[in-house]
Amino acid sequence: MQVIVTPDPGAAFQQAASIIAGEIRSNPSPVLGLATGRTMEGIYSLLVQDHLHNGLDFSTTASFNLDEYVGLPASSPQSYRHYMDDHLFAHVNMRADHIHVPDGVAEDLNAECQAYEQAIHDAGGIGLQLLGIGETGHIGFNEPPSPFDSRTRQVTLHPVTRRQNAGMFGGDANKVPEKALTMGVGTILDARHLLLVACGRSKADIIARALLDTVTPDVSASAIRLHPHCTVILDTAAAKVWQERSALVS
């Protein structure tokens, strides 16, 4: 696992965008796993600028998003599909049939999850998986405890996660859906390269737990330490506790 500490969030976004752009430019048919959240907005903005000003070509890229709320159609302003359209898909030349986001209003959610797994397999697997980390230690919506062999499935969101995500719902955690569809930890670990990005002091404690404490389903992000090719990019605020605890051990 490689951990890169940058002086500020902007530098973290630049590092992450450079890795993603490199994956797109070096692979004739790149398959990206994508994430949502405030951190990702800065990364996607840089990728859009790279496309507009430097010709970064998304025409052969396929994407699979980590998760989606159950009960929200793609047209909902709070859906992750809408988020992705707004921050990336509407601004680059990715083919519509190459874009995949779980359907939170599918008639049969279990069948939707199985079909999502099959689509990832049919695409040749995910080459680069972008990740954030939630306050519960989740990657995707893999709330504690999440088995490390779990696959795409329906989950119940932790109250902490619903509070964390309330901003998109007018600040009211009660309006955040109780359930979501998410790639499982096992699905995420199948990607050939994991790229986790975290910024801000609010992420410092959970980053330290994920990177230093016991690898456990109670902190699904700790599973990244089992992966043979994982890059973690942090700003100084997010890295603070990890660095302090690492210094005590060394």
How many angstroms separate the CA atoms of 80 and 150, rounded?
A: 21
Query: Parallel, antiparallel, or unpaired for β 67-69 and 179-182?
Result: antiparallel
pLDDT of residue 248: 84
Tell me the pLDDT of the chain averaged across its residues: 97
pLDDT beyond 80 at 163 = yes
Other residues' Cβ atoms within 10 Å of the Cβ of residue 167? 12
- What pLDDT digit, counting tens, does each position of 167-222 carry? 999 999 999 999 999 999 999 999 999 999 999 999 999 999 999 999 999 999 99
18-24 long-range contacts (CB < 8 A, ≥24 apart) are 19/128, 19/195, 19/231, 20/47, 20/128, 20/130, 20/195, 21/47, 21/50, 21/56, 23/127, 23/128, 23/193, 24/56, 24/57, 24/58, 24/61
- What pLDDT digit, counting tens, does each position of 27-53 carry? 999 999 999 998 999 999 999 999 999
pLDDT beyond 70 at 250 = no
pLDDT of residue 183: 98
How many angstroms separate the CA atoms of 221 and 141, rounded?
A: 11
Is 59:94 a contact under the CB 8 Å cutoff?
yes
pLDDT of residue 197: 98
pLDDT of residue 81: 98
DSSP 115-137: HHHHHHHHTT--SEEEE---TTS
Query: Two tokens at 125?
Result: 């697997």
Which of 160, 157, 159 is CA-nearest to residue 181? 157
- What pLDDT digit, counting tens, does each position of 128-159 carry? 999 999 999 999 999 999 999 999 999 999 99
Higher pLDDT: 248 or 83? It is 83
How many angstroms separate the CA atoms of 10 and 237, rounded?
A: 13
Other residues' Cβ atoms within 10 Å of the Cβ of residue 201? 12
Q: Check: pTM over 0.85? Answer yes or no.
A: yes
pLDDT beyond 70 at 9 = yes
Q: 241: part of which helix (H) or strand (E)?
A: helix 236-249
How many angstroms separate the CA atoms of 57 and 80, rounded?
A: 23
pLDDT beyond 90 at 249 = no
Q: Is the previous residue joined to 145 through a cis bond, with omega within 30 degrees of 0?
A: yes
Crossing angle for the helix pair 38-54 and 9-26, to the nearest 10 degrees: 50
